[in-house]
Amino acid sequence: MANEANKLIWYEIIFKQISPIHIGEKNYGVLSETKVFIPGWTLWGALVNSYGKFKGGRAENFKEGKRIFENITCFYPKIDDKPLFPNLKDGRLYMGNISEKQFRINHTDVFMSTAINPMYISAKDASLHETEIILHKSKGKKKNMYWIGLVGIKIEYNSKFNEFINDLDEISVGGEVSYGFGQMKIDEKPLPISEDNLNNWDLKNDGSLFISSKNSEPIKNYIRLSDDIKFVNSKLEYVVQYNFIQTDHLVDSKGYYFIPGSKILGCNKDVYFRLKKGMYI
């Protein structure tokens, strides 16, 4: 049962993507691959940055933003009003019923860039770089890309959250923003969601992990590797978190996590997993 004293107000947020985005995944030679969903820590960083600037740009404004938005899920593509949640089939990632491979065919492209030698106004040797991007409109049918996720707000921050989110125009998400990538905007005013909808995101109201008594469903957020939880059809990812408030970008935390789309087989009911920046820790 959720802790009554720690209950949160959960909002569903839908962003409309208005330019290509790149969410760093892996590098293959000169190619930087993108993730096909947005991790919670990426959206958290974007919201904290926007909130800090909105409140005046002082260090305490950014620190307050870090606290306000820490209860945030990963965000997923929403096409034709249907969220594409991840799931693993035979070790392969699918977004909804679409394989990761087909999703990339339909919704990604490659942006090529090169470093310039300022003395000769020419490309530097061996400086070609390819960046995979998620398009804001799908190939062929040209359908708009939207992104859906949840954020849980403490009661004492609710008015500040609404003041900010109602004023928010655009937000920059992911990498290569100097090229104009990563621009998204709120599609409609976020509204509180029901308990049932919250459970569909593996969540209890206090931000702890909800496990259905029904057959195992793919998880919507990362879960740290632990002997207290058992998975089937799962994959691990090594996640490193940095403290970008510090100028030297110190490592904040690191470790192995089961990725979204993995399925829970069983869990120690006495162990408490709490959502923080798209990860149950």
Q: What is the CATH number of the domain that holds 162?
A: 3.30.70
Helices (H), 124-252: 158-167, 195-199
pTM for the whole structure: 0.90
- Whether 149 is in a domain gets the answer yes
Residue numbers of the domain that contains 186 = 7-280
The structure tokens listed for 3 are 């802790």
Length of the chain: 281
- Whether 2 is in a domain gets the answer no
Taking only the tens of pLDDT, the chain with its 281 residues reads 455 668 899 999 999 999 999 998 766 666 789 999 999 999 999 999 999 999 999 999 999 999 999 999 999 999 888 899 999 998 899 999 999 999 999 999 998 865 444 444 444 444 567 899 999 999 987 889 999 999 999 999 999 999 999 999 899 999 878 888 999 999 989 999 998 899 999 999 999 999 876 667 899 999 999 999 888 889 999 998 876 554 455 777 889 999 999 998 888 877 889 999 999 99
Spatial distance between the Cα atoms of 279 and 261, rounded to a whole number of angstroms: 13
Instruction: Confirm if 39 and 72 have CB atoms less than 8 A apart.
Output: no
> CB within 8 A of 227, min separation 6: which ones?
none
Tally of CB atoms within 10 A around 177 = 15
Spatial distance between the Cα atoms of 190 and 166, rounded to a whole number of angstroms: 9
- Whether 1 is in a domain gets the answer no
Instruction: Confirm if 22 and 134 have CB atoms less than 8 A apart.
Output: yes
- Whether 155 is in a domain gets the answer yes
Strand partners, 92: 89
Residue 227 DSSP label:
T
* Number of folded domains that form the chain: 1
Q: Which amino acid appears at position 66 of this protein? A: K
The structure tokens listed for 279 are 């990860």
Spatial distance between the Cα atoms of 205 and 249, rounded to a whole number of angstroms: 32
- The continuous run of DSSP H or E covering 2 comes out as none
